[in-house]
Each structure stands twice: as structure tokens, then as C-alpha cells.
């Protein structure tokens, strides 16, 4: 059984354009994703593709003007708002993308410790995890504004690592960290997964994702175009199912280093058919008419009518 199952998740934002008029823009469309125990699923996508919104939907921390449809299940049971509140920061932990999520008025040691239930164990646990992340002893008494970006990020990671969570959602956890600390962090996620955690690793960096992930979900303009196995990213990408994933793979420096012409469509002005059709070399007439459904192929999934 999957630890987290997301089915047909759509997210729209409503805003007023004048006193009486409002406009609704859908930013996540019919997204499907599941994470099993012991699994790292990387979600890769360029800026604005919806990665952070997906993380926030799982945590139940979307802004008030977001409307959500579809279902989330955690451990086989519906993950509704009440359960999100009950599990958040405990069984389900978020490593947020922005360090602004730290409480500016609380010393960082106390913040990290407050995520562990047994108060007696927590000082020791916090010091251990700080040492692991090369945070000096005096850091626990500092306030967030006294930290560098990289230090603040390591504090956020510490919180997730000692919370005892079974599901960790990490939103771009490595930027601002030195190469070796970033590597160590990825290894640590792998270790947590090997101990049975499920991890959703959000990143725009396919290469770092591939170092530790079991599966890679490719997010484009608010939907998952392909769910591939990490092993599918090899050679010239012939195992990959979607032309966009293949193009992403080829665009890496160690491959053809060939950028994909054009840009991701904006929410609010999406093409009617396949979201990638305007940039796709293989697009046919049908691609611009119909939005492809998700199909399951070779242990992964794809939204492309031409994939086989
Ligand atoms: N509160 C909001 N109201 C309206 N639109 C929003 C809101 N938050 C996000 N969006 C839109 O939803 C889309 C996805 O945003 P999101 O933050 O999830 O992107 P991302 O993939 O995390 O990007 P990045 O890599 O830059 O962090 C963007 O087009 C963004 O403009
Ligand atoms: Ni983001």
C-alpha cells in the first residue's frame, strides 16, 4: 500500500479583478502521484510548474483563495484538513523552500526541539542533528535573522530529520548549501528512505534527483507529464516515455546540452490539447485538440498519445 496517494488533484486560485468580477485560474491539473514506504519520488519541473503548490496541498497550507479538488490519502485513509493538522510536523514533515517559514521570534534550537514530543530527549537529539549539519553549539540560541541562508536551510532540515516523520516533503532542500553538505543531505534522505520513510524530493535539478531517487515525476505547467523510473534516465533517453522528459534529459550538460526552444505555457493561457504540444517535435493534429489522459506504460506513466 502506498504511504501517500494523490488522485486527480487540481488547484485553482480565485481573485477579484474588480469589485464584482472574479477570475479563476487553474494552476494544478488532475495530478496523480503516489509514494510508497522506502521510496524517494523526485518531482522535477521548471520554475512555476507547481512544485511548491503540490507540497503545500499535501501539508494543507495553501492560501485561503485556493480551491482544491481531487483526493489525497495517507496510509490508506483520506488525508483531509483535520488529519493534515494532526499529522503536520509529526508524521508528515515539510522542509520548506523558503527560510521565511522559520518563526522569527523563537530561538532556533527551541524551534527545532518543539518538533519532538519527548522534551527530555529533545535537547540531546537537537544537538546531535545540529552537529550532523555542522551547526555550531551557539546556533541553538540564535534567532533566524542571525543565520546565513545556508545555516537557516540546515536548521529547517534538522527539524524534518528529528521529527520522526514517515513522510518527508522536501521543497528544494539543497540550494545555498555547499556541495558536500548538499550531497550529505541527499544521502541522508536516502538513509531515511531505506529506514522506511517515504520522501517527496522537489527540485529543478534532475541530476541531483537521480543520485538518490527511485522514481522521477516530471511536472510541466501544473500536471505530471511522466512518471519514470530513475533507471530510465540513461543513454539517449530511449526508455523515457514523454518527448518533454527526453528533451530535458538531452538538455543536460553531459548529454547533448541542447536547450528546449520556447517556454512553458502560463496558467490562464494554456493550450487546449497537450500542454507540451506547442514545443513538441512529434506533435500531431490530435495533440493540439485533446488533453492526453495518463497511461501506464513499462512501470511508469505518461500523458502522451504517441508514447509506447
Ligand atoms: N497564492 C497564489 N495565487 C495565485 N497564483 C499562485 C499562488 N501561488 C502560486 N501561484 C501560481 O501557481 C504556479 C505554480 O507556483 P509554484 O510556487 O508551485 O511553482 P514552483 O514550481 O514551486 O516554482 P519555483 O521553482 O520557482 O519554486 C505559478 O504560476 C504561480 O504564479
Ligand atoms: Ni517552489
For 93-124, write each residue's pLDDT tens digit.
Answer: 999 888 888 999 999 999 998 877 665 668 88
Q: Is 49 in the pocket of ligand 1 (CB under 6 A)?
A: yes
Q: Is 13 in the pocket of ligand 1 (CB under 6 A)?
A: yes
In which domain, by residue range, is 193 found?
Answer: 4-16+23-91+165-302
Q: Give pLDDT < 50 ranges for the chain.
A: none
- 96 Cα–ligand 2 center, Å: 9
Q: pLDDT (tens digit, 9 = 90+) per residue, 238-249?
A: 999 999 999 999
Given the CA of residue 50, which atom of ligand 1 is nearest to it? Answer: 18
Pocket perturbation via mutation, ligand 1, pick of 17, 44, 49 by most ligand atoms within 8 A of CB: 49
**Sheet strand arrangement including 223-229:** 92-95, 167-171, 198-203, 40-44, 215-220, 223-229, 300-302, 295-297
Q: Is 51 in the pocket of ligand 1 (CB under 6 A)?
A: yes
CATH number (domain holding residue 296): 3.40.50.300
Cα torsion 285, 287, 291, 296 to 10°: value is: 140
From residue 233, how far is each of 113, 216, 220, 256 by CA, in Å? 39, 9, 18, 14
Check: CB of residue 60 under 8 Å from CB of residue 220.
no
Q: Is 12 in the pocket of ligand 1 (CB under 6 A)?
A: no
Residue 156 forms part of a structural domain = no
Residue 185: per-residue pLDDT: 86
The single residue listed with the C-alpha cell 517559514 is 101
Residue 72 forms part of a structural domain = yes
Residue 155 forms part of a structural domain = no
Residue 157: per-residue pLDDT: 87
Residue 90: per-residue pLDDT: 86
Q: Is 292 in the pocket of ligand 1 (CB under 6 A)?
A: no
| Model ipTM value | 0.99
Task: Please state the domain count of the chain.
Answer: 1
- The burial of 258, by beta-carbon neighbours within 10 Å (0-12 exposed, 13-18 middle, 19 or more buried), is given as exposed
Residue 132 forms part of a structural domain = no
Amino acid at each position: 500500500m502506498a504511504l501517500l496517494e494523490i488522485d486527480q488533484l487540481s488547484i485553482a486560485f480565485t481573485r477579484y479583478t474588480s469589485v464584482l468580477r472574479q477570475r479563476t485560474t487553474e494552476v494544478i491539473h488532475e495530478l496523480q502521484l503516489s509514494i510508497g514506504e522506502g521510496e524517494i519520488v523526485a518531482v522535477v519541473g521548471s520554475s512555476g510548474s507547481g512544485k511548491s503548490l503540490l507540497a503545500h496541498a499535501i501539508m494543507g497550507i495553501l492560501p485561503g483563495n485556493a480551491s482544491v479538488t481531487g483526493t489525497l490519502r495517507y496510509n490508506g485513509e483520506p488525508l483531509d484538513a483535520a488529519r493534515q493538522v494532526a499529522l503536520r510536523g509529526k508524521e508528515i514533515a515539510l522542509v520548506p523552500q523558503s527560510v521565511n517559514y522559520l518563526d522569527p521570534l523563537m530561538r532556533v534550537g527551541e524551534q527545532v526541539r518543539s518538533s519532538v514530543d519527548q522534551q527530555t530527549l529533545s535537547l540531546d537529539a537537537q544537538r546531535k542533528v545540529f552537529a550532523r549539519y555542522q551547526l555550531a553549539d551557539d546556533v541553538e540560541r540564535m534567532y533566524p535573522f542571525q543565520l546565513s541562508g545556508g545555516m537557516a536551510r540546515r536548521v529547517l532540515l534538522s527539524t524534518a530529520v528529528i521529527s520522526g516523520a514517515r513522510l518527508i516533503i522536501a521543497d528544494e532542500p539543497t540550494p545555498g548549501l555547499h556541495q558536500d553538505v548538499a550531497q550529505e543531505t541527499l544521502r541522508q534522505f536516502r538513509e531515511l528512505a531505506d529506514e522506511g520513510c517515504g520522501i517527496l524530493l522537489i527540485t529543478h535539478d534532475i541530476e541531483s534527483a537521480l543520485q538518490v531517487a527511485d522514481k522521477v515525476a516530471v511536472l510541466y505547467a501544473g500536471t505530471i507529464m511522466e512518471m519514470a523510473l530513475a533507471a530510465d534516465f540513461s543513454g539517449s533517453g530511449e526508455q523515457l516515455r514523454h518527448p518533454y522528459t527526453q528533451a530535458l534529459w538531452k538538455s543536460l550538460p553531459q548529454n547533448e546540452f541542447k536547450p528546449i526552444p520556447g517556454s512553458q505555457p502560463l496558467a490562464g493561457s494554456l493550450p487546449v490539447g497537450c500542454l507540451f504540444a506547442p514545443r513538441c517535435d512529434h506533435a500531431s493534429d490530435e495533440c493540439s485538440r485533446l488533453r492526453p489522459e495518463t497511461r501506464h506504460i513499462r512501470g511508469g506513466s505518461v500523458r502522451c498519445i504517441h508514447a509506447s
